[in-house]
Chains A and B, each alone.
Chain A
Amino acid sequence: MKIAVCIKQVPDTANVKLDPETHTLKREGVESIVNPFDLFALEAALRIKEAAGGEIVAVTMGPPQAETVIKDAIGFGVDEGLLLSDRAFAGADTWATTAVLAKAIEGLGDVDLVICGKQAVDGDTAQVGPGIAQRLGLPHVAFVKGFREIENKRLVVERQMDDGYDVVELPLPALITVVREVGEPRPPSLKGKMRAKKYTVPMQGAADLGLDASQVGLAGSFTQVVKVFAPSHSGERRRLEGSDEQMGAQVIDALVDNQVIMLGS
């Protein structure tokens, strides 16, 4: 089975702090990491390969530095990597992102399964996976949390829903996006790390993919960011005073007075 895993380089949002005065992101010293959900995608791919055999290719679109996430993936044990990098790709919305990723996956030839993370922790849209599936004409199941059956031509997966989960059968080729329940990522292996050091990451730009500059990046995007601002925490804020017991009673009184709590119910 040939599996393509899409991974994205993101700032480590755990360490992104807001500047309290300017309300902008302070990024000095913030490391770039593999999107945490994409580690679950890599883990899922490795487990499927263990079950069904085959080959895994990790694909990323990003600036030249994003090469490091491909090397990380090699360290985890994927077979090959591909970096999609071009100045023209900058500023892409999800439509222009899937244009590039879908073309690149098509170029890999005969991919049986594409795996994406649930969402990227910077853009946070969760739109890229289903978008790639549509462009490639593949069926997809999003938010996969487990596998029931893994065969060469068919998967049975558990799909997380708001009120439980569905068991879904899907024929391959197909695309899935995965959530953390698919399994904790294994640590990179020593052998993988050695290989990653020596691995030269292949790179492709717009021209290699046969894409015109107008189809990618900012120019190829439908959406446009017109304003960016800090979230406001609206409403009155107060600190209560007194002993622990007094404060506990006070807050209940305040919530009742403001009809947040109804006593009748």
Chain B
Amino acid sequence: MGVIIDKELCIGCEQCLDACPFDALEMKGDVPEVGDACTLCGSCADVCPEGAITVPEVERAQDDRAAQAKGVWVYAEVRGGQMPEVVAELLGQGRRLAGQLGVELGAVVLGHGLGGVAGELFALGADVVYAADDPLLADFNDDIYCKVLTRLIAEYKPEVLLAGATSVGRSMIPRVATAVATGLTADCTGLAIDPDKRLLLQTRPAFGGNIMATIVCPTARPQMATVRPRVMKRGERREGFEGRLVTVSLDAEDQAVTKVLEVVQSLEENVNLTGAEVVVTGGRGVGGPEGFKVVAQLAEALGGVVGATRGAVDSEWIGHAHQVGQTGRTVAPKLYIALGVSGAVQHLVGMQGSDTIVAVNNDPNAPIFDVAHYGIVGDLFKVAPAMLSHLKQLRGQG
């Protein structure tokens, strides 16, 4: 399967080769030939100056679920009685999508001792709340959580389901998507509606953040996506709004196969990078464990947390729980300050969604400056203390 290239129209300019993100095209003589790697993404057709490339429609099995499905749902994760920030963001985004589709916004919550949660979900934007409150749901277990959510989807048939790309979401939602037999887009940073086709346009980074892909789920329903925390904007609170509450009970044969023996809120792992409003990150440029002192001081003064590059973590200057990037945590705080960080692509993918980025590096060519809103070419051991003392001075502390 692949794109169709009209050899008569093709002038051999090779622009399509450069445009193909999957390296699927190769010149055979004067014209390109398409290989197995083609995903029919259409990037080549977009750039071809001669209109020589057509993207064939893929034959897909007919699916009547699109006609029946209605409503936007948000999976409202609760852990230890707390809802992570991303739930409010999902409801904010869910409201906008539901508005464009002219449908209701539902929220599903599973857990135990959920008193008050439904009211909060209404205030955050839900029209309907589906709540299952049962001792069996007290701890997060993929098997039973998935069973209950799968059953609700089969019964109420939403057309869109969003969940946070958290540890819980990324573990259970792929299982649910497989159980209901539908598509799932991972870790989205953009969601929009194609009004003509009523399709959810789901945009996400891939290849370690090197490219962005927009993905749709044309026939199966619901269209499911996990959404990166701290990317979507939360909505206006509707204090006192009362929606419809649907109480869900478990079936007699519902049993958890896996068992949570212990929940450890670990300080080291509880660096809570993902939830922080300010992250101050130290890279190999801080020179050693001692160098993290100034990083920590600045973080503390700004009410933020300390991040680190893999370079610093691998040197054992600081724990892995602090690592930001592809193999660490993804963060998108209001303010990200990078001290002595070169800006490798594996690091950028974990922080480039931050609202404001400040970079201090003594190498004017460091790639971190490509993403920094404020670039400072200088010695971090002079710049960071200056930032601290100026901050204290402005606050009347210095």
In the complex, what residues of A have CB within 8 A of residue B220's CB? 222
Whole-angstrom distance between the alpha carbons of A219 and B19 in the complex?
Answer: 23
Q: Mark A44-88, 1 if CB is under 8 A from B, else 0.
A: 000000000000000000010000000000000000000000010
Which of the residues A24, A135, A160 comes within 8 Å of B18, measured between beta carbons?
A24
CB-CB nearest in chain B for A231:
B212
Contact A265 B303 (CB under 8 A): yes
In the complex, what residues of B have CB within 8 A of residue A16's CB? 207-208, 210, 345
Contact B178 A131 (CB under 8 A): yes
| Given known A163-B265, A263-B395, contact A251–B387 (CB-CB < 8 A) | yes
CB-CB nearest in chain A for B267:
A164
In the complex, what residues of B have CB within 8 A of residue A18's CB? 210, 345
Is A198's beta carbon under 8 Å from chain B? no
Contact B36 A139 (CB under 8 A): no
Q: Which of B92-100, B122-130, B138-146, B230-238 contacts A (4 or more CB under 8 A)?
A: B138-146
Q: Which of A165-173, A185-193, A202-210 contacts B (4 or more CB under 8 A)?
A: A165-173
* Count of chain B residues with a beta carbon within 8 Å of a chain A beta carbon: 110
In the complex, what residues of A have CB within 8 A of residue B334's CB? 260
Find residues 192-243 in chain B having any chain A CB closer than 8 Å to their own CB. Answer: 201, 205-220
Is B378's beta carbon under 8 Å from chain A? yes
Contact B391 A261 (CB under 8 A): yes
- A-side residues, CB < 8 A to B, are 11, 13-14, 16, 18-19, 22, 24-25, 27, 36, 63, 87, 90-91, 93-95, 98, 121-131, 133-135, 139-143, 156, 159-171, 174, 180-181, 214, 217-219, 221-231, 233, 235-240, 244-249, 251-256, 258, 260-261, 263, 265
The 8 closest A-B pairs by CB, nearest first: A248-B386, A222-B183, A244-B382, A125-B186, A142-B171, A223-B183, A127-B174, A167-B262
A24-B21, A223-B183 given. 14 additional CB < 8 A pairs? Answer: A13-B208, A22-B19, A124-B205, A124-B206, A131-B174, A141-B142, A143-B170, A143-B171, A163-B272, A165-B269, A219-B60, A225-B213, A249-B387, A263-B395
- B-side residues, CB < 8 A to A, are 1, 18-21, 23, 36-43, 58-61, 79-80, 84, 139-140, 142-143, 146, 166-168, 170-172, 174-175, 177-179, 181-187, 201, 205-220, 257-266, 269-270, 272, 274, 302-303, 320, 326-327, 334-335, 344-346, 352, 355-356, 358, 369-379, 382-387, 390-391, 394-395
